[in-house]
Structure 1
Amino acid sequence: MNQQSLSAFIWSVADLLRGDYKPHEYGKVILPFTVLRRLDCVLAPTKAKVLKELEAKTKAGVSSDPFLKRASGQSFYNSSDLDLSKLLGDQDHIKQNLYAYLQGFSPEARDIFERYDFATQIERLAKANLLYLVTEKFANIDLHPGSVDNAQMGHVFEELIRRFAELSNETAGEHFTPREVIKLMVNLVFIEDDDVLTPGNAVVRTIYDPTAGTGGMLSVAAEHLAEHNPAARLTLHGQELNDESYAICKADMLIRGQAVENIVAGNTLSEDGFPKKTFDYMLANPPFGVEWKKVEKVVRQEHEQKGFDGRFGPGLPRVSDGSMLFLLHLVAKMTPVVDGKGGSRFGIVLNGSPLFTGGAGSGESEIRRYLLENDLVEAIIALPTDMFYNTGIATYVWVVSNKKPPARRGWVQLIDGSHFWQKMRKSLGSKRKEMRDEHISLVTRLFGDFAEADLVMLLDASGKEVGRDVLAKDAVTPAGPEGGKAKRVPLARHFRNEAFGYTAITFERPLRDEVGNVVLFEKGKQKGKPQPDSSLRDSENVPLNEDIGAYFKREVLPHAPDAWIDETKSKVGYEIPFNRHFYVFEPPRPLEEIDADLRAVSSNILRVLGEMSA
């Protein structure tokens, strides 16, 4: 059964719930039952062995927990002699038996259903005489990993969550990230580490997602590494605020044999689930533009009391958008480089705001300053718009590392990946575009090669694209098709870290009296000096690589000879004007062509009107 058929089958349970449940409540039943059936199928092959082991250890009077896990072949088990199929054999007592079956799960699995408040739904279904019918639906579907692998199951959960989020007007993007975006991010964080990707090299690495959702990023990372180097071991860690997403993530980790204590519930910003731990790799897609007012007191306290010994030393962004707090959180989780060994790399998806929001001295600017002056930003990759389920805005993947290879040190690579997409056959929420494997490979290669490149699009006479090619920055542009042209745009560029910095200077002009004489200070340290006129005050941003005095003399004094710089107000700021570096000016068409088109359109309108009146 393919993913769409599986999702449609599970969704058909909604037909049973209609009337007794409102549409936005369907997920409260369907999601935990899907998890329950998945765990039920996973444990089925070793069920008899577990029960036999339980009987033996009970007779011996010893703790059975570790033995039952070994017997189940998983990191969890169920000690009840019931399963979903057996529950159907006693319709009159299905509620009591279902409770008994749930209690038979080991604590780490039982917690999943407690997060869903599953007991409340069991009672509600029983009162509506729906419990047996819903249980029967799920008991008749095969969700064993041999039939539905982990990747496919992840897609199913994400599709169901997206549907339920739409019904309840929630933000679907808070729960999961499109798989092709995850795949690109995983490629980017792994590509420079040959020791990890070399087959047969039995390395052990850690990966962390502070906004884990249903665990999609962790799962794709594990699958990617296993595909390239089966001998490598990747231990997965995550934290998730939403209880339902956390439950699904934890279930996935159980089935993968990961240590479930490494999946923590709670708000990452106010309750760091791994306060003393660092990680080799990290991935995150924090919510875009979500305020952090609920945790403001705790975050500000950490910033003010711990400074750089805490997570938020460089600064705090405005309360209306907390995405840069997650960026700082990940920086604090990087493994230090000692004697050339260790270090971390992470990828994080952010909207455009963290690139430029906030002037010199603001929290956002100070965060960018810290990252760039400490040479932590490897690359920023622009994604196509309409890639996410809950928003069509422009998004960017930041690749951050404290173990840059020598060629990258002191540099930031910007890659415009917004050209590489295909239109989806059917939109999913706001998601209308997707990146194919070849698009992901191309962007990964540009990053891995630390390339500077251009994209050449071949356009026919009507302006339709008939071909494209990626060329080195200095390569010769090929000729366009007959009657058409070759349009060339920048695709990847390098910039020194300091290229994004500037000094914000404030210059004053003197206050003058009614007859035009300069008003001087009469007292204090400023005595005898001109008083500034606040209405004439202005500012300029001087690039860090320019001499401020020379800039002021060249750009300001010719227009305001009496101006001076108030050096007490000078501040260093950083911004990354991504679009400015990839903008290509296209001159408008000649007026003669536009006039000719207007005359043709006008003539056509008059002709049609004449035909209608004839």
Structure 2
Amino acid sequence: MTQKIGAGLLSCADKIWETADTLRGAGIKASDWPAYMMPFFALMMLESRLRRFRQSRIDEFRRETEHAFNFEDAAHREWLEYSAKAANKGYHPELLLHGKGLGETCLVPGGNFLNRLLAHLDQYDPDTKRLLGIGYAQGHAKFLDMQGKASDLFSRDNCPLYPFAQKWASIDLTPFDNSEITTIEEHIKRKWADISAETAGEQYTPSDVIDLATALIVELRHECKGGAGIADIYDMASGGGNFLFATEDAMRDAFPELSVRTRGQELNDALYALAAIEARFREGARIEWGNTLTNDHFLLDKFDAIVANPPYGVDWKDFKRHLEMDASGRFDPKRMPPTSDGQLLFLQHAAFHLSEIGVATIVHSGSTLFSGDAGGGESETRRWLIQEQDIVEAIIQLPKNEFFNTGIHTYLWVLNRAKPANRKGFVLLINAETCFTKLRKNLNQKNCEIDEVNRARIVQAFRDFADGPISRKLPIDALLYNKVELELWRHDEEGRAIGKTEKIEGKKIVVRSDDALYNVDAGLLDLAPFAGKTVKEAIALFHEAARNAELTTVDVSGGQFYGRENETGTIWVGPENKGLGVLSVRAKAVKSKGQERARVDIALDRLLEKDSETVPYSSDEAINNQLIADFLARWVHEPWCLHGWKTGCEINFNRVFPKQSGIRASKEILKDIAAVEEEMARLEAEIAADLCVEGDDGTGNER
């Protein structure tokens, strides 16, 4: 995880992490440390960028005018202030004109340091104060909440605010460029994630996963020969911006002539603020705050590259109605997943925002591959992406335990709006489950990483787009299936069943449900056993007894007998077993001779059951119909009625990449059995000898 961090960056990251010692000493629990560290990290990042900006403008003034910049000259100061405000990267007069930042504020110990700190921070421009969390009104978002966290530290025993701020003030981020700042941030977040699984799961994507995703984005850009022009990059769940800005850096490195613009949206207050501050110092970057699904700030935009690690298993029932009424075209009522997990909504959102040459790498959990039944919202989303849109180019199974707070399998979806002709109609599955190296020390649940060698191996498999040691090239039809709905006429093992409906009538009928007897005279139920009950209550009790009985029999006047074992469905007519069927005994309330009575209808009928079968699929209608017919003819042996079928879609990595289990030779198994039998015989002999000794005291008398 540290191979990208040089000595200078690593030293800086370690100094940042040492600030946690003050928090530990103040009694703040480890999982809360990030909330105190993030605002000060953002402040020092902001200061470093403003100091660099200040110096660059002074140098520019010297080059343009061939005169030294004079801070005593009002015209020079006015030019610098105007330049800073126009750049809209943040404005602080003391920092801009006199170089006074947090370090200078910390020079004088003692006094009311909280007031001095807040007075210093209050000089920033309104938008910077909003992001830092200074002077927010009650009920408004606090974002990084610098004011709240500083006040909390000031109020604690020993007042740790001053030493904490002093440590941060000694950290100079000025020497590092934007990419290096992001690397430091990644390193710190990795440590935060090691401490707080709750924070990590929603907010942090490991750098090795980011490196793989960005490598694939670069590869796809190479394939479409897009080394020049403009590339718009988007992250719909941008967090602190690491994934988004790492993709930007990778694209700039790979294509120096490419003009890159980044866009992101994030719901978490603090992470949005962190990303928004960094975005100020990246050319063409813009981060918005809010729920991507309900309030899309980039609704009219299309993007050439999309990266994201949206949240897993997040409930969206609170805005279900809102999305069902969404008229943007992003979502379709037929493709709505269950409200317990909105991952597939993010996939639909990404597909909507892809440009004509747009590509995407999006991290998801396994539920996006197989959850839901044919015809349901989840299956329909997969089918829409894979078959109708044909934009899914590859799906990569990542190693287990890649993330900090979960050991579940995760998958990288690779989308491409401009799939090459030779890849249309196909999806590449890559099983990278074993493409990792073990970490020396586990980071919470993360115990492995995709190193450079394995990353190159995965990218090469994607580039080859063919069957290989870790890859399978599948036609789209192989990922689809027919779910055939049937009604079966059930028969017993000898092929017997009730052949037709037969109504049972007689002047006197006795219905037995286990030990209970119910008389039916001229079709009317004798209500005497139900004394004190209304007719409706009697009917309900009668039905309950028939439903719960193991055996129901019907004796008709004249000696005719019918019976049914309700568990097996076996029917008797007289003494003869007639096979499987239904003995239907139903009562209903009727008017008879001016009073309400219970009429009973009794009938024998065929045992019909609904069933469904999963049948292979073909996009050719004639072939598909034949596949269904052949399957039913081969595997369904009872008479059936076809009620139709639905097309489903799922991706099953275990079926495509079956796990081999070692099968022992029969000789080895027999040898082990013989050893066990020999051991059992020995134990039996020892037990028999012990019993003999206990039962005889040597004189022939039992003890």
TM over 0.5: yes
Superposed CA deviations along residues 200-240 of structure 1, whole A, max 9, x for unmatched, are: x5421100001111111112112212222222121111111
Partner of 1:131 in structure 2? 161
The letter of the residue matching 1:272 is D
Alignment of 1:532-571 (within 5 A): 536-545=609-618, 546-549=623-626, 551-556=628-633, 559-567=636-644, 570-571=645-646
Q: Partners in 1 of 2:186 and 2:678 — Cα distance?
A: 55
Aligned mate of 2:665, from 554, 572, 590 = 590
Q: Partners in 1 of 2:485 and 2:268 — Cα distance?
A: 46
CA contact (8 A) 2:10 2:184 kept: no
Against the structure 1 CA distance between its residues 38 and 192, is the aligned structure 2 distance closer, same or farther, given a 3 Å change threshold?
closer
Partner of 1:528 in structure 2? none
Against the structure 1 CA distance between its residues 14 and 158, is the aligned structure 2 distance closer, same or farther, given a 3 Å change threshold?
closer
Q: Partners in 2 of 1:577 and 1:141 — Cα distance?
A: 50
Partner of 2:382 in structure 1? 368
Partner of 1:122 in structure 2? 150
Partner of 1:393 in structure 2? 408
Alignment of 1:48-127 (within 5 A): 56=74, 67-69=83-85, 75-80=89-94, 81=98, 82-91=100-109, 92=111, 94-114=113-133, 115-127=143-155
Superposed CA deviations along residues 581-609 of structure 1, whole A, max 9, x for unmatched, are: 111544511132245468889999xxxxx
Against the structure 1 CA distance between its residues 421 and 557, is the aligned structure 2 distance closer, same or farther, given a 3 Å change threshold?
closer
Superposed CA deviations along residues 564-586 of structure 1, whole A, max 9, x for unmatched, are: 2113xx21211122220111544
Superposed CA deviations along residues 68-99 of structure 1, whole A, max 9, x for unmatched, are: 157xx883332224311211233325333322
Question: Number of residues paired by the alignment?
Answer: 538
**Higher mean Cα deviation, 78-87 or 237-246?**
78-87
Partner of 1:189 in structure 2? 217
Unaligned runs of 5+ in 2: 1-6, 59-68, 134-142, 504-603, 680-703
Partner of 1:222 in structure 2? 248
Deviation at 1:417, TM superposition (A): 1.2
Aligned-pair identity (%): 29
The letter of the residue matching 2:369 is L
Partner of 1:492 in structure 2? 471
SS of 1:10's equivalent? helix
Q: Partners in 2 of 1:144 and 1:601 — Cα distance?
A: 73
CA contact (8 A) 1:186 1:221 kept: yes
CA contact (8 A) 1:177 1:285 kept: yes
CA contact (8 A) 2:489 2:638 kept: no
Partner of 2:486 in structure 1? 507
Superposed CA deviations along residues 493-529 of structure 1, whole A, max 9, x for unmatched, are: 11111222222111113489x98222399xxxxxxxx
Aligned mate of 1:153, from 159, 162, 184 = 184
Deviation at 1:426, TM superposition (A): 0.7
CA contact (8 A) 1:27 1:164 kept: no
Against the structure 1 CA distance between its residues 145 and 321, is the aligned structure 2 distance closer, same or farther, given a 3 Å change threshold?
farther
Superposed CA deviations along residues 445-480 of structure 1, whole A, max 9, x for unmatched, are: 1112222212xxxxxxxxxxxxxxxxxxxxxxxxxx
CA contact (8 A) 1:414 1:494 kept: yes
Alignment of 1:94-493 (within 5 A): 94-114=113-133, 115-128=143-156, 129-146=159-176, 149-163=180-194, 165-166=196-197, 170-194=198-222, 201-259=227-285, 262-302=286-326, 306=327, 309-312=329-332, 314-335=334-355, 337=356, 343-373=357-387, 374-454=389-469, 491-493=470-472
Aligned mate of 1:9, from 11, 15, 32 = 15
SS of 2:307's equivalent? strand
Q: Partners in 1 of 2:455 and 2:635 — Cα distance?
A: 51
* Structure having the higher Rg: 2
CA contact (8 A) 1:53 1:67 kept: no
Superposed CA deviations along residues 415-436 of structure 1, whole A, max 9, x for unmatched, are: 1111211100011111101111
CA contact (8 A) 1:509 1:533 kept: no
**Higher mean Cα deviation, 147-156 or 234-243?**
147-156
CA contact (8 A) 1:288 1:321 kept: yes
Deviation at 1:310, TM superposition (A): 3.5
Q: Partners in 2 of 1:153 and 1:510 — Cα distance?
A: 68
CA contact (8 A) 1:422 1:434 kept: yes
Deviation at 1:268, TM superposition (A): 1.2
Deviation at 1:143, TM superposition (A): 2.1
Superposed CA deviations along residues 26-80 of structure 1, whole A, max 9, x for unmatched, are: 33322211221222233335558689789847997x9x8651157xx88333222
So what's the TM-score if we normalise by structure 1?
0.79
The letter of the residue matching 2:336 is L
CA contact (8 A) 1:246 1:265 kept: yes
Deviation at 1:172, TM superposition (A): 0.9
Partner of 1:580 in structure 2? 655
Q: Partners in 1 of 2:631 and 2:424 — Cα distance?
A: 33
The letter of the residue matching 2:375 is G
Deviation at 1:556, TM superposition (A): 4.4
Q: Partners in 2 of 1:28 and 1:349 — Cα distance?
A: 26
Q: Partners in 1 of 2:678 and 2:71 — Cα distance?
A: 90
CA contact (8 A) 2:393 2:428 kept: yes
Against the structure 1 CA distance between its residues 391 and 516, is the aligned structure 2 distance closer, same or farther, given a 3 Å change threshold?
same
Against the structure 1 CA distance between its residues 253 and 500, is the aligned structure 2 distance closer, same or farther, given a 3 Å change threshold?
same
Unaligned runs of 5+ in 1: 338-342, 455-490, 522-530, 605-614
Against the structure 1 CA distance between its residues 74 and 437, is the aligned structure 2 distance closer, same or farther, given a 3 Å change threshold?
farther
Deviation at 1:163, TM superposition (A): 4.5
Q: Which has the higher strand share?
A: 2
Q: Partners in 2 of 1:532 and 1:215 — Cα distance?
A: 67
SS of 2:369's equivalent? helix
CA contact (8 A) 1:381 1:398 kept: yes
Against the structure 1 CA distance between its residues 150 and 508, is the aligned structure 2 distance closer, same or farther, given a 3 Å change threshold?
same
SS of 1:404's equivalent? coil
Superposed CA deviations along residues 293-342 of structure 1, whole A, max 9, x for unmatched, are: 2332322332xxx3x8233455111111111111111011112x3xxxxx
SS of 2:260's equivalent? strand
Q: Partners in 1 of 2:484 and 2:213 — Cα distance?
A: 38
Q: Partners in 2 of 1:290 and 1:534 — Cα distance?
A: 43
> What is the RMSD computed on CA atoms of the aligned residues?
3.5
SS of 2:220's equivalent? coil
Q: Partners in 1 of 2:70 and 2:161 — Cα distance?
A: 30
Q: Partners in 1 of 2:640 and 2:168 — Cα distance?
A: 78
Deviation at 1:158, TM superposition (A): 1.4
The letter of the residue matching 1:360 is A
Q: Partners in 2 of 1:229 and 1:212 — Cα distance?
A: 23
Q: Partners in 1 of 2:223 and 2:630 — Cα distance?
A: 54
Q: Partners in 2 of 1:272 and 1:509 — Cα distance?
A: 49
SS of 1:397's equivalent? strand
CA contact (8 A) 1:42 1:145 kept: no
